[in-house]
Amino acid sequence: MQFQRSGSNQQFTSSSWLRLVRHNIPIILFLILATAGMVTIYWFFNPASSDVDGVPFVVSGDFLSAPIVKDVPAKPVLQRLAQSVGPLRIGIIAGHKGFDSGAVCADGLTEAAVNADLAERLAANLQARGIRTEILEEFDARLPGYGATALISIHADSCIYVNELATGFKIAGAASTQSARLSTCMEQAYNMATGLPFHANTITDDMANYHAFREIAPGTPAIIIEVGFLNLDRELLTTNTDPVVIGLINGVTCFLEQSAYE
């Protein structure tokens, strides 16, 4: 009896397992396929044992981590040379040249003539220093898209006597380009060389919105300078021009020297 009861229990247990397997065949197949997939992925992405030798594993809290190892083919090291700046080029607009006379004094002296003389003196000095310099007319055909290290437009103020304060110079820089450094250099150098005061409060809209500023290439520093009044500053602008030319030269030189350290 005991032996038969044991056999009956075994038969019952086997039948129960068979029924359990038949009822869960989809789940069993899923588990088999999932296991096979994980093994395949692990085998495919697992680096060779030689690749992981010596890889430092870091324990952080309850986690074990290691850096990702990836072979990167060696590339030749190319020598990097400092990019050289383009050749220096200074553009000088002789105010009113090729357009009109500008201000006209009672004795016939014209602003255009004064501007042209100063522009030529400045250009000659810069060229003597090996700096490419070009003199442009007021509405020069080269102005649209003109690119240079700097552009300076030289003008003079009225011949009309206003009062004893109508002496000095003023500068306006192109708002659309980085012209602040050029303006500052020119203001300081010109004031030091000529002793003329700087009239910031008399800068006109025609200067601030000077037509050339809208025509030149983006990124070209540009200023317009009125070098003095043709009345009280006439001698300095016509017969004693050395301080004026020196001030203009030093303003350009200051700008070039400061720009070289960028």
pLDDT of residue 78: 41
Task: Give residue 45's pLDDT.
Answer: 63
Higher pLDDT, residue 55 or 123: 123
The dihedral through the CA atoms of 114, 250, 220, 214 has a sign that is negative
What pLDDT score does 94 carry? 98
Question: Rounded to whole angstroms, how far apart are CA atoms 237 and 248?
Answer: 12
Q: DSSP labels for 115-146?
A: HHHHHHHHHHHHHHTT-EEEEE-TT-TT-TT-
| Radius of gyration over every alpha carbon of the chain, rounded to an integer in angstroms | 42
Q: Does residue 69 carry a pLDDT above 80?
A: no
Average pLDDT (116-137) is 97
pLDDT band (50, 70, 90) for residue 177: confident
State whether residue 185 is helix, strand or coil.
helix
> Which pLDDT does position 228 carry in this prediction?
97
Instruction: Give me the half-sphere count of Cα atoms (radius 13 Å) on the Cβ side of residue 68.
Output: 3
pLDDT class for 11, splitting at 50, 70, 90? low
Q: What is the pLDDT of residues 206-231, one digit of tens each?
A: 999 999 999 999 999 999 999 999 99
Tokens of 160: 């009309």
Q: What confidence tier does 159 reach under pLDDT thresholds 50, 70, 90?
A: very high
At residue 198, the pLDDT reads 96
0.85 surpassed by pTM: no
Report the range of poorest mean pLDDT among 7-16, 121-130, 226-235: 7-16
Domains and CATH numbers, the chain: 2-47 (no CATH), 89-259 (3.40.630.40)
Predicted confidence (pLDDT) at residue 133 exceeds the cutoff of 50: yes
For residue 175, is pLDDT > 60?
yes
Q: What's the chain's average pLDDT?
A: 83
Q: Which residue has the tokens 């396929």?
A: 33
Amino acid at 20: L
Residue 154 in this model has a pLDDT that exceeds 90: yes
